[in-house]
Homo-oligomer: A and B are copies of this chain.
Amino acid sequence: MRTANDTANNPTIAIIGATGAVGAEMLDCLESAAPADAEVRLFASERSVGSHLSFRGTSIELEPLSSAAFDGIDVALFASSSDISREFGPIAQAKGAFVVDNSSAFRMDANTPLIVPEINGGLLSTAPSLVANPNCTAAIMGMALWPLNQLSPITRVVASTYQAASGAGAAAMTELEDSTRAYLDGQPYQPQVFKHPYAFNIFSHNDTVDLETGANGEESKVMDELKKIMATPDLRISITCVRVPVLRAHAISMSIETEAPISVDEARRVLSAAPGVRLVDDRANNHFPMPVEASGQNDVLVGRLRHDLADPTGRTMMAFVSGDQLRKGAALNAVQIAAVLCGWG
């Protein structure tokens, strides 16, 4: 098994699912994060094999996925389906690679660390060979919740999301743009990715709804994963996940109850100091976190900090957060995990 010492220099990094929205963003993140002497190999489904993507000015040919493909790979970033991760993740591990998996396949597996480096990156010190990358909404929410949790343990979260198209992949982003243009032109449009119209519309998250509880799959993931990432199994969290016509940054409205009251100034102070977080909380100018300003950014934007005046105990803080779904919500976090595992500068 390789260790950080082996992979800090001249690593071979594979992206599995390199043509998807997350895979392409991983390649972009590696431009700045990977060591100068890194080699990158890109794997994609049959229909993309043979085409090329650019990395640091070099054209890289897309390869077909196979067991043999993992020979000599030091770090394998999986950005494909859960099925692909389940099939090839263990093979990559067995061949000595660090695996960082963006699918949900292993996230709730008790033996697999689920990591947001700023929150529980310490778990990477044992150099686990398989690490799960969280659900995008869980990662973005966690970035705002964790610094507050250090001030006083969070006991309750009630959240509603404003989720972008990118969470459903590049085809969903295209569908949002195409269907919106059709609407503006007065033309009909038949949705391909979503079952509901997306142009100037919002709808309940497209993940399957549990017929018994009424929660959808996305909501269950966020609730379960946040508790695991923050190691707060007793956190009472409830969430409603909604798609909005935004391209690539999620937003979340949160009511956050803590054990002890937190002042707005204290909250601003810890969030301002938190790595990976940018405070955007300007009441006078009505300037708060927005997808248009979070898109393409590594930092998660947090603001609209205010006490819930309906809680007479003063223990409930309201907050609004926006983060790039493809960066901190997916690719950036995965590359950050790889960087810690491999000891990249």
A residues with a Cβ closer than 8 A to B are 156, 158, 160, 162, 176-177, 180-181, 184, 195-197, 200-204, 206, 208-211, 213-216, 223, 236-238, 240, 242, 244-247, 251, 253, 255, 264, 283-288, 290-292, 304-311, 316, 318, 320
Contacts and interface: CB of A to CB of B under 8 A. Distances in A.
A292 B197 contact: yes
Given A156-B310, A158-B255, A253-B160, A203 B290 contact: yes
Given A196-B292, A240-B318, A309 B215 contact: yes
Contacts of A206: 286
A314 to B, nearest CB: 12
Q: Which residue, of A195, A202, A204, has the highest number of chain B Cβ atoms within 10 A?
A: A202
Contact of A306 (B197, B213, B286): B213
Q: Which residue, of A158, A216, A264, A283, has the highest number of chain B Cβ atoms within 10 A?
A: A158
A200 B292 CA distance: 8
Given A214-B283, A240-B253, A244-B244, A176 B200 contact: yes
A240 B304 contact: yes
A170 to B, nearest CB: 15
A135 to B, nearest CB: 17
B251 A202 contact: yes
22 contacts: A160-B160, A160-B253, A195-B285, A200-B291, A201-B291, A204-B290, A204-B304, A209-B283, A209-B284, A211-B284, A214-B264, A214-B306, A236-B310, A236-B311, A238-B311, A238-B318, A240-B304, A240-B320, A242-B251, A244-B244, A245-B245, A245-B246
Secondary structure of the A contact surface, majority rule: mixed
Contacts of A203: 288, 290
A246 B200 contact: yes
Nearest to A281: B214
Contacts of A304: 204, 214, 240
A158 B288 CA distance: 20
A116 B91 CA distance: 63
B255 A238 contact: yes
Given A214-B283, A237-B310, 7 more contacts: A162-B242, A162-B244, A196-B290, A197-B292, A210-B283, A238-B316, A245-B246
The 10 A-B pairs at the shortest CB distance, nearest first, are namely A214-B306, A160-B160, A160-B253, A236-B310, A201-B292, A209-B283, A240-B253, A204-B288, A238-B308, A238-B310
A290 B245 CA distance: 12
A330 B208 CA distance: 35
A181 B213 CA distance: 40
Contact of A177 (B162, B184, B216): B184
A180 to B, nearest CB: 6
